Structure 1
């Protein structure tokens, strides 16, 4: 008892002496009473945030080390997961060469669907359940990495129903309690940040909307970021991947603060992966935004610009660490039904046999409307983002923050020849009720918006996104 009292006294002294600036002060998250009891229970909002991300290894040609990594892990039967387009390209060849050179036994699954569905997830899960893999390697964009995360999860929980771990209210949202097998992610696009996060996204075909699985347990053991792999991206893929980075950074930086998010978990295992903006995620989001402002146009316009492509690859990692802990909000929540309800549009630069609106495109098309809507809740952050992206804010009033950020986003999209709103990818105002309906279940992200919203608000945001220029 005496020892506990001494510890409690020391903590109080640290709080009294601590720096009081918002970036360093810990007074907002210390909850100790005279007896040392935990006062977090009974709170309506959270009082803590937790940082989690994959280990990250970066370097040109670093993929050559993957065989040694598997040896070091003691892996004896590895699942290499990719898609059919990538299976013939240098990133996969580099991985295969390294595994063969170091005598690592592997089996390849190349059936990943670009923009995966619940059914394509299940096909990958069935594949791995029939084999005794002790490690995984995912080579590709977010579709491949997310599919591999799900396969690893359900192979380690063979009795689980598919909806057990899917985010509520679509699924049961159960916490993951069993350890997963090691997973090395080798990203070949510069956008999703999936190599750093515990999130796996898919189209739930029954609802015609995206949802996902979110748990820190899903995050890859190692993100092997080799910038040489991004040189193979077509310009439209580079653009749409970059838009995902842009919105990850903007949404996580403007998300509801972590200590205003509810409910407060009664057990840390139920604290969500997406926790709200926080001082650590803010650093990663701001830095990612600076890189996007400097290099996105260059990376799209010149595929041989190694500096630009490499920098955008790192920006994807930085934004991934930021949003993987802070979360995203309305742009992503609204993007899921945009992707899920697509009828005939096939995006340029993607070799697929089904209608497709790339994730980054579905996210960025609503961004001018969304940030015009949310700016009133944290105008300083919206103005700072606008300035980073090139706007002159010296004489801008706080109440104009949304307009300024919206205008700078619209100019960026115009300069990069992005489709002119939802109308140009096949939607009309008659589709808006269905798009709103598909957004409502996305509470995992929409509740992190800094401004509360109604179905009428969502309707207005979709209407404003029908045409951009």
Structure 2
């Protein structure tokens, strides 16, 4: 009898001491339905394996040997192919006896045409693995080449996001892909997203599926020392908006419908407690290192920290997603007229980070009522004094904070400085409307008039 009493006393002790959080603290009669709920109830975090460190690129040849790679596609662009990141990569492959061919025709801000050219090269050579050395354009092009080599009978639009394409799930096994980023912005080395300009609609769209993720992301800060000032500047604002948008995206429990099968849960799931941690980390890094990394190009500490932040932001957005800044950015970049930025060649182009940040002040003034506390928290992490700010002023405070960063980085004064006028707004709205995957993650619903107003407010920003 005494032994039985000790058992019950032990059970009572465990019951009192056990976790009292909302998930475990309730001990009533819990009823769990087998019916699929209307809203999602779970999130999952997936990303590439990340290896970070000065000089890690020299290990890539050994990694490919470990993968039993015999015919490797090294993909890069016409600028990066001349620089040390590609040389280091090829030296490692040669040293380890790995057979490879180089494709160096990737277009910065790729199009469906440039994607198809890279896909044709991959199919002609029947590669068994891929290495992408470059910025987001290179990594996104490499993902597409890998996908359509692995499913050679697929039509190009089969995997492109709806409503532009069919948005079919990827059911084939892709070849191993290693990503070696040379810029600090896109985070594409950890995501299952591949973005391109679809020329017929003058807007960006993409392919989104977890199967596209590289198996390994090699984050080597030494490569950031080759980044010109404007590339560092604009790509940094991609980190900036990745962090802010994933942090303020619709909560994962508000996104619907819930998937009938976990394999159908989308890549972009909404903000969640884990992605929020990475968003905060990125905002802290930007506050401390962004200006240093742009204006002190030999500051290895600053550039190393920004390089890591890009990857961390990639993990966050690769699961939580982004929303209005990116949704509006795609037609802004896709309808470029004559803007030619320094350090990006001689062809008209609006770099992705620039197109994204142009509407950020207007966007976060608009979204702030959805969660004033989060918007104020973001402004505070970025350096604003929010101690006595009213919730009603959250959007204005975050917008002013963003503008201070844009002014410090000498960002152009709104869409007019990129060649747009009020007469272009209907066409830009038309290009934003197909971005349903992104617009649906915005914490407030938007009408066409709302999108027009955001673009009008972004024609001049200072």
1:129 aligns with 2:112: no
- Residue of structure 2 equivalent to 1:263: 257
Structure 2 vs 1, CA of residues 219 and 32 (structure 1 numbering), >3 Å: closer, same or farther? farther
Q: TM-score, normalised by structure 1?
A: 0.93
Q: How does 1:28-427 map to 2 (within 5 A)?
A: 33=31, 38-39=34-35, 41=36, 43-351=37-345, 353-427=346-420
Deviations 1:199-246 (A, max 9, x none): 000000001000000001000000000000000101110010100000
Partner residue of 1:20?
21
Offset from partner CA, 1:72-128 (integer Å, 9 cap, x none): 000000000000111110000000000000000001101100000001000000110
Q: 1:275-307, CA deviations, whole angstroms, 9 ceiling, x for partnerless residues? A: 000111111111111101110000001100000
**SS at 2:319's partner residue?**
helix
Q: Against the structure 1 CA distance between its residues 26 and 53, is the aligned structure 2 distance closer, same or farther, given a 3 Å change threshold?
A: farther
Count of aligned positions: 446
Q: Once superposed, what is the RMSD of the aligned Cα atoms? A: 1.6
Name the CA shift for 1:19/1:314 in 2 (closer, same or farther; >3 Å).
farther
Distance 1:342 1:19 in 2: 55
Q: Against the structure 1 CA distance between its residues 85 and 395, is the aligned structure 2 distance closer, same or farther, given a 3 Å change threshold? A: same
The whole-number CA distance in structure 2 between the counterparts of 1:414 and 1:359 is 18
8 Å CA contact 1:175–1:269 kept in 2: the answer is: no
Unaligned runs of 5+ in 1: 1-12
Selected match of 1:428 from 410, 414, 421? 421
2:344, 2:20 → 1: CA distance? 51
Q: Secondary structure at the match of 2:204?
A: strand
Larger Rg: 2
1:313-363 Cα distance to aligned partner (Å, 9 max, x none): 000011110111000000000000000001010111112x42100000000
The TM-score with structure 2 as length reference comes to 0.94
Is 1:466 matched up with 2:459?
yes
Contact 1:290-1:389 within 8 A present in 2 as well:
yes
Cα distance, 1:415 vs structure 2? 1.1
C-alpha separation between the residues in 1 aligned to 2:437 and 2:30? 30
The answer as to whether partners of 1:192 and 1:320 remain within 8 angstroms in 2 is yes
Q: Tell me if structure 2 keeps the 8 A contact 1:32–1:38.
A: no
Q: CA deviation at 1:46?
A: 0.8
5+ residue gaps, structure 2: 1-13
Residue in 1 that maps onto 2:6: none
